[in-house]
Amino acid sequence: VVESWSFLDTVESNFRPLVVIELAKGTKEETIEWFTKRIVDKKANGGAQLLIKPLLMEDGVENIYLVGASHLRLLLGAETVGLVKECSDNSMRAFTYSSRKTFKDFADDNHNFLTMAECQYIIKHELENLRAKNEKMIPGYPQVKLYPGKSIVRRLLTSGILVQIFPLHDREELKKLRHSWYGRVKVGYQPLDDIRCYFGETIALYFGFLEYFTFALIPMAVIGIPYYVFAWEDYDKYVMFATFNLLWSTVILEVWKRICAILTYRWGTLLMKRQFEEPRPGFHGVLGINPVTGREEPVYSSLKRQLRIYLVSLPFVCLCLYFSLYVMMIYFDLEQWALDYHKENESNVSSLMLYVPSIIYAVVIEIMNRIYRYAAEFLTSWENHRLESSYQNHLILKVLVFNFLNCFASLFYIAFVLFDMKLLRQSLATLLITSQILNQFAESLLPYWLQKRYNRRMKKRMCSQKTDRDLSIAEQVTLEKEMGTYLGTFDDYLELFLQFGYVSLFSCVYPLAAVFAVLNNITEIYSDALKMCRVYKRPFAEPAANIGVWQLAFETMSVISVVTNCILIGMSPQVDALFPDSKMDLVLTVALVEHLLLAIKFIMAFVIPDKPRDIQMKLAKLEFESLEALKRQVRSFQMQL
Amino acid sequence: VVESWSFLDTVESNFRPLVVIELAKGTKEETIEWFTKRIVDKKANGGAQLLIKPLLMEDGVENIYLVGASHLRLLLGAETVGLVKECSDNSMRAFTYSSRKTFKDFADDNHNFLTMAECQYIIKHELENLRAKNEKMIPGYPQVKLYPGKSIVRRLLTSGILVQIFPLHDREELKKLRHSWYGRVKVGYQPLDDIRCYFGETIALYFGFLEYFTFALIPMAVIGIPYYVFAWEDYDKYVMFATFNLLWSTVILEVWKRICAILTYRWGTLLMKRQFEEPRPGFHGVLGINPVTGREEPVYSSLKRQLRIYLVSLPFVCLCLYFSLYVMMIYFDLEQWALDYHKENESNVSSLMLYVPSIIYAVVIEIMNRIYRYAAEFLTSWENHRLESSYQNHLILKVLVFNFLNCFASLFYIAFVLFDMKLLRQSLATLLITSQILNQFAESLLPYWLQKRYNRRMKKRMCSQKTDRDLSIAEQVTLEKEMGTYLGTFDDYLELFLQFGYVSLFSCVYPLAAVFAVLNNITEIYSDALKMCRVYKRPFAEPAANIGVWQLAFETMSVISVVTNCILIGMSPQVDALFPDSKMDLVLTVALVEHLLLAIKFIMAFVIPDKPRDIQMKLAKLEFESLEALKRQVRSFQMQL
């Protein structure tokens, strides 16, 4: 029914499919016609001015559409979303169509000036900003209401008419990327710039952080090895190791900010102006006037949200924390009971019984984490945050606090209540190693295997001899639309965060933790890369200037680790022996050292600039230029008088 | 010689003197002619396009000039400096001449649209931005070199040809301000908006902070009184008082940020764009190209500056700190010696001798502070900072650290080494009260008295019967040019900072400190107001969006006070008695409570938003509007295609 409408160019050969739209099966003709009309309509008429083509699938059902855009349209869209690109003089500037000639590699016939990920981001932005004009409802679905200014795509998504929108993979590019990323075993850096070109800044920053963090852990691992090899137990060596760790962790977190600034400056996102945030799709409320935009949109009282947060969510989180502690106490009781049982009737069965409580506890922790995650997501979306960013922050905070307690409470209990360093070391090692193995399996290898099996089955059904490259668009879409959706970097960062906790919180008890972390992270890079390239649908690129709230989370962890390490060192028998006369002196010394370390940490964080000097200079130069331009404008106006 | 040149309007009656320029006596005619020509020249010719008039003094010497500007020129200048004014729809916007009609109270004949302080700020800005074109030197002074782009006024100032530039008082306005500010004894707020209109935002913010801080201390003072009256010594009451104090001090500092945002939003400085900072007058270096501006200017290696800071300044400051501690130890030795002497031969003379060490120490502290201040200023200017702000930050840091140690070291020593709470309370009271009295005297009353004497003498010499209002401009200038120069809010904030230290660091030992602080601050408001209105030359208004580095200083002090108060409470005999069996438990409990309090502090600082909701909304609205305007621009361009 629908042909490739276009007003800017109608040459069929120019159409390059970028984004796939899947409508629900049986969507009414009327709706499809209206929706596609809006997508191709001129900007002046309130359309998105994109290109759209129906995709004829084998089974004859016509519910999948390919969206593309003309080269010119994409360049204008790049200006709208505020993309920052490199100029011929190597400075970074916001792209504008009128100044396009000054940009590096720009040529009217160079269709690679914008990366495919950028094109897809622009199309996503244009689709999401396709807004209702005077429509009161989606044509064909009177129950799905619209109001002027409401994003049509978001409404279609929440009502289920639109199943999904996802960007297409570029099989050639992906193959190249796979090869340079994990295709050969090599020592060296990841191709971060290529990853960014293909997957966007958020994901590239995650891999950048993962790589940086792995390199940063190497000194700790190297220093940690002799402690294990020579079984050093001297207190002074532990103190040195812990002190090094604490200062090192501050330094690496500060230096990361600088590296992050270098990366995002090169990628243009450091300079990118924040777009005005629209309400998130799930946000609901009484229709009112937004005081900021003056537009009609759902309004929800901030007081009500605060009440929900403080009167429901907060108590619920506290209850969950309490429950987690309670479960932990049951675990210790079980452990004790198993030990007693083993002592009473010593047998093979009873010695096996010794492991049962740990296994049960590990399983229960995992189950609790999952259930809690759902509860947290439910609660946070019930809190009805207007902005996606605010939703994310509240969700991350809830999950972080619970995961932190759930994973580390037993270790804290062993360390500071039972005072059993042997058991602490043993539990730490078990928890760290098993969690790493489980994670890698559940996160990448299992989905990879499932995906592979599905692919094989699909390919067999379609045409058995074809290689990857010869797949038609229809076949590619059929394969990709069934792939899992990558839900963002949250879980990946969470894993790193917990690992950082295992490494730093009790580093003076188990120096080998850093070694395991390094080994894990090296394989993690590969398995995460595999996951991104093979398992999931291509995600939309998302510009990011830093790792956001995770920087704060890691910094908080490093502050907590100062406290725990100081206490652990203070409790070690070697240090104890140094103060034979007075326990008081010991405690006071430990407290003094702890405060000094904390003070040094804060001073270091304050003294190390967040951005390297040359980035600072470049930013200052841009600011200066824009001020000068403003002044020139004023001056030229004055001269006219 | 010089007449009132003007190209925009030459009507003599329009000339309103705003700023006074005093040249050195005997400045060459050639120089004066060149300088005044540059000041009145058109913008297009690189002039400042202001009005200037020589002032004929009684003694016939012609070295004083009055500078003014036409109404139109001031409006254009307001756009250049980026003033933010209120629009008719109550929103705040950057003033532009082309949109002038949309601003509240704007009328072409309303010459009060800009306050006098704003006009003077604009003139100062224009004078300072009067730059050398092709002149290689100041005409008439071949030894005073210039290079293209060098600020002429700054060069004239550093070479001594220009003695001073200062804004004139407005006798009528000042009288009104004086009356509403401190003219009548009243309970109520200061007229902050009037202060801001007359003296500018920096000074108004200081008085705002002083007032806010005084009000914030009242609850602490009220709660503190019964401790003194009923001589409460129960530990639980002290603990409650200290806990209240610690949380309260966090709250007041966070709330101040919000109040500050409200004030500066109303005054327009919250939205004001930061101007590009030019090098400070004292900055020197080899002539090179500034990488940011591309202009020719002195360049000084950042590495050299870092070396000077870390290899000279830092060790010097440490040495001074050590010296200050050394002097403190001598004081305690002297004290001991005086006590011994008094015990051996008890007499009237010997009991008087008991006070000698304290007096000597107080005097020495004062002398050391003064000498150190000079040394810090010398060192910081030797570090050769390019920017005034960076110079100020380094100076403030140096002075703060030393003053903190100098003032509180003896108290720390008494509290944590001698464990003498009686002596601590006594020293604290003595130090607090004497420093307050001394400060008020030295800072305001003495200069006021000196100024009054000078004024009387001058007036007598000029014309004995005239009242203030009838003074001619010449007489007014003669009086004002000899007044002292207000050197900024540094000393005033420092005084408040030390007072905050006295109140919070040992609050659980001496709850009455807050009472004295409140009493002092009430009189401080009056004496500072007197100082501003009567003693000093009118200072140039300086826009400010917050109290800058002082916020950080106060927050740091409140963190330190958590530590000291926890230790003090832990050391009190009442708390001691609660843990009869084990000192260990006591220390651990205290450490735990301290960490909890610190954690609560940080969480509170994180949770309380820095800006009130309505200010956030207004800022968001402005941001949204500018984004929309940008989009409209892009869209209208797209429609042309």
- Alpha carbon distance A548, A260 (integer Å): 11
> Which residues in B lie closer than 8 A to residue A634 (C-beta atoms)?
76, 79-80, 96-97
**Coil, helix or strand at residue A66:** strand
- Alpha carbon distance B152, B138 (integer Å): 8
Residue B375 has pLDDT above 80, yes or no: yes
**How far are the Cα atoms of A178, A252, B267, B301 from residue A214, in angstroms, in the given order?**
21, 11, 50, 35
Please tell me whether residues A129 and A252 are part of one structural domain.
no
For residue A581, what is the enclosing H or E element? none
Chain B residues with CB under 8 Å of a chain A CB are 43-44, 72, 76, 79-80, 96-98, 273, 275-276, 291-293, 302, 563, 583-584, 587-588, 591, 595, 613, 617, 620-621, 623-624, 627-628, 631, 634-635, 637-639, 641
> Which residues in A lie closer than 8 A to residue B587 (C-beta atoms)?
584, 587-588, 591
Within a domain: A7: no
Greatest C-alpha distance within chain B:
103
Let me know: does B601 contact B246? Beta carbons within 8 Å: yes
Percent of chain B with pLDDT over 70: 92
- Alpha carbon distance B248, B604 (integer Å): 11
Please tell me whether residues B186 and B160 are part of one structural domain.
no
Last residue of a domain, one of B144, B168, B192: B168
Please tell me whether residues B593 and B635 are part of one structural domain.
no
Give the residue among B262, B114, B117, B217 at the shortest CA–CA distance from B177. Answer: B117
Last residue of a domain, one of B143, B168, B193: B168
- pLDDT at res. A354: 75
In sequence order, the β-bridge partners of residue B117 are none
The per-residue pLDDT for range B32-63, each reduced to its tens digit, is 999 999 999 888 888 888 999 888 776 667 78
Residues in chain A: 641
Number of structural domains found in chain B: 3
- Alpha carbon distance B254, B266 (integer Å): 19
Give the residue among B389, B488, B292, B549 at the shortest CA–CA distance from B380. Answer: B389
Within a domain: A441: yes
- Alpha carbon distance B208, B196 (integer Å): 10
Q: Supply the Cα-derived Rg of chain A in whole angstroms.
A: 28
- Tell me the shortest Cα–Cα distance from B44 to chain A, in angstroms: 7
Taking residues B388-415, report their average pLDDT.
90
- Tell me the shortest Cα–Cα distance from A31 to chain B, in angstroms: 27
Closest partner CB to A587 (pick from B72, B587, B639): B587
- Alpha carbon distance B601, A22 (integer Å): 50
> Which residues in A lie closer than 8 A to residue B584 (C-beta atoms)?
583-584, 587
Average pLDDT, chain B: 84
Please tell me whether residues A264 and A151 are part of one structural domain.
no
Compute the C-alpha angle A613/B82/B200, nearest 5°: 100
Closest partner CB to A587 (pick from B293, B584, B635): B584
Within a domain: B489: yes
Q: Would the CB atoms of A634 and B291 count as touching at under 8 Å?
A: no
- Alpha carbon distance B124, B24 (integer Å): 19
Please tell me whether residues B604 and B615 are part of one structural domain.
no
- Alpha carbon distance A154, B220 (integer Å): 53
User: In chain B, count of helices (H) and strands (E)?
Assistant: 22, 10
Greatest C-alpha distance within chain A:
104
The per-residue pLDDT for range B618-633, each reduced to its tens digit, is 888 888 887 777 767 6
Please tell me whether residues A536 and A621 are part of one structural domain.
no
Within a domain: B130: yes
Closest partner CB to B97 (pick from A292, A620, A637): A637
Please tell me whether residues B190 and B204 are part of one structural domain.
yes
Residue B556 has pLDDT above 80, yes or no: yes
- Alpha carbon distance B606, A451 (integer Å): 44
Q: Which domain holds residue A51?
A: 19-168
The per-residue pLDDT for range B211-221, each reduced to its tens digit, is 999 999 999 88
**Which amino acid type is present at position B407?**
C
Q: Would the CB atoms of B583 and A583 count as touching at under 8 Å?
A: yes
Within a domain: B350: no
The per-residue pLDDT for range B297-332, each reduced to its tens digit, is 888 888 999 999 999 999 999 999 999 999 999 988
> How confident is residue B4, by pLDDT bands cut at 50, 70 and 90?
very low
Within a domain: B464: yes
- pLDDT at res. A22: 92
Please tell me whether residues B574 and B512 are part of one structural domain.
yes
Residue B466 has pLDDT above 70, yes or no: no
- Alpha carbon distance B98, B79 (integer Å): 10
Please tell me whether residues B449 and B551 are part of one structural domain.
yes
**Coil, helix or strand at residue A22:** strand
- pLDDT at res. A243: 81
Please tell me whether residues B41 and B133 are part of one structural domain.
yes
- pLDDT at res. A246: 83
> How confident is residue B475, by pLDDT bands cut at 50, 70 and 90?
confident
Within a domain: B539: yes
**How far are the Cα atoms of A235, A340, A425, A508 from residue A421, in angstroms, in the given order?**
14, 21, 6, 11
Residue to mutate among B276, B295, B552, B635, with most A CBs inside 10 A, is B276
Within a domain: A436: yes
- Number of cross-chain residue pairs from A and B with Cβ atoms under 8 Å apart: 72
End-to-end CA distance of chain B: 60
Q: Would the CB atoms of B584 and A588 count as touching at under 8 Å?
A: no
Q: Would the CB atoms of A638 and B591 count as touching at under 8 Å?
A: no
User: Block means of pLDDT (10 residues each) for chain A, length 641 residues?
Assistant: 39 74 89 92 86 79 87 88 87 85 85 89 91 87 86 89 91 88 75 92 94 92 84 71 84 94 92 78 82 82 91 94 93 88 84 77 82 92 88 91 90 87 82 80 76 75 53 81 86 91 85 89 87 88 89 93 87 79 82 91 89 89 80 65 55
Let me know: does A104 contact A86? Beta carbons within 8 Å: yes
Last residue of a domain, one of B168, B189, B212: B168
- Alpha carbon distance B7, B52 (integer Å): 12
For residue A145, what is the enclosing H or E element? strand A141-145
Q: Would the CB atoms of B302 and A634 count as touching at under 8 Å?
A: no
C-alpha of A72 from chain center: 32
Please tell me whether residues A209 and A155 are part of one structural domain.
no
Let me know: does A288 contact A279? Beta carbons within 8 Å: no
**Which amino acid type is present at position B362?**
A
The per-residue pLDDT for range B501-540, each reduced to its tens digit, is 988 888 778 888 889 999 899 888 888 888 888 888 999 9
Please tell me whether residues B76 and B125 are part of one structural domain.
yes
- Alpha carbon distance A2, A39 (integer Å): 12
